[in-house]
Structure 1
Amino acid sequence: MAEKSILAYFHSPEQAEGAASKLKALRAIDVQVDRFGRYAGSGLQSAMNPYAGDFGSLGALTQAADVSTPDEGILIAADPAASGLSDGGGGGVTGIDIILAAVIDDAVYEQAVRVIQSAGGTM
């Protein structure tokens, strides 16, 4: 039994989870859905007042980044998206931050690709 791997990108976790459940019905060997970003970290976990709170840098506050050094914080804060005025242009991937990784049997690969595309995924 030959295996193939698939990486697909989605706009929302609901789209990816829907595709994942259909891939599991196709007897996928492994399926995982996760969110990724430009910077490491999961961002702020609680609401805080930036005027009174203690936050490491603008990069940590606006980019959901785990900032380990002051220099890293400065570089992340220099990103146009940190200002809140970025329109998402520039040819980068915008709004597609959910990834689905799957390992499936080669016999159902084409069917799995159709499932992903019908759920709104991009490969």
Structure 2
Amino acid sequence: MAEKNILAYFHTPEEAEGAAAKLKALRAVAVSVNRFGRYEGYGLQSVMNPYAGDFGSLGRLTQAAHVSTPDEGILIAADPAASGMSDGGGGGVTGIDIVLAAVIDDSVYEQAIRVIESAGGSV
């Protein structure tokens, strides 16, 4: 039994989870859904007042980045997106930060691709 790998990208976790459930019904060997970003970490995990709170760096506050050193925080804060004024321009794909990774049997690969695309995913 030959296997193929699929990486697909989605706008929302709900779209990806829906596709993952259908891939599991196709007996996928493995399926996982995760959010990814430009920087390591999950950012702030609680509500806080940035004026009074100790949030470490602008990079952590605006980019959901795990900042381990002051220098790293400064470099991340220099990103245009940290200002809140960036529109994501520059020709890159924006707003697609959910990845679905799957290992599927070769015999149902084309069907799996159709399932992902019908759920709103990009392969």
TM over 0.5, shorter chain:
yes
Matches within 5 A, 1:98-117: 98-117=98-117
The aligned amino acid for 1:57 is: S
TM superposition shift of 1:92:
2.0
Number of aligned residue pairs: give it.
Answer: 123
Residues 1:2 and 2:20 are matched in the alignment: no
Specify every segment of 5 or more residues in structure 1 that has no aligned partner in the other structure, as ranges. none
TM-score (norm 2): 0.98
Supply the RMSD in Å over aligned alpha carbons.
Answer: 0.6
Segments ≥4 residues shifted beyond 2 Å: none
Q: Distance in 2 between matches of 1:43 and 1:60?
A: 6
Aligned-pair identity in percent equals: 84
The aligned amino acid for 2:57 is: S
User: Which residue of structure 2 aligns with residue 45 of structure 1?
Assistant: 45
Q: Distance in 1 between matches of 2:46 and 2:74?
A: 22
Secondary structure of the residue aligned to 1:34 is strand
Q: Distance in 2 between matches of 1:116 and 1:50?
A: 39
Q: Distance in 2 between matches of 1:59 and 1:92?
A: 20
User: Which residue of structure 2 aligns with residue 81 of structure 1?
Assistant: 81
The aligned amino acid for 1:44 is: L
Q: Distance in 2 between matches of 1:14 and 1:48?
A: 27
Q: Distance in 1 between matches of 2:29 and 2:121?
A: 19
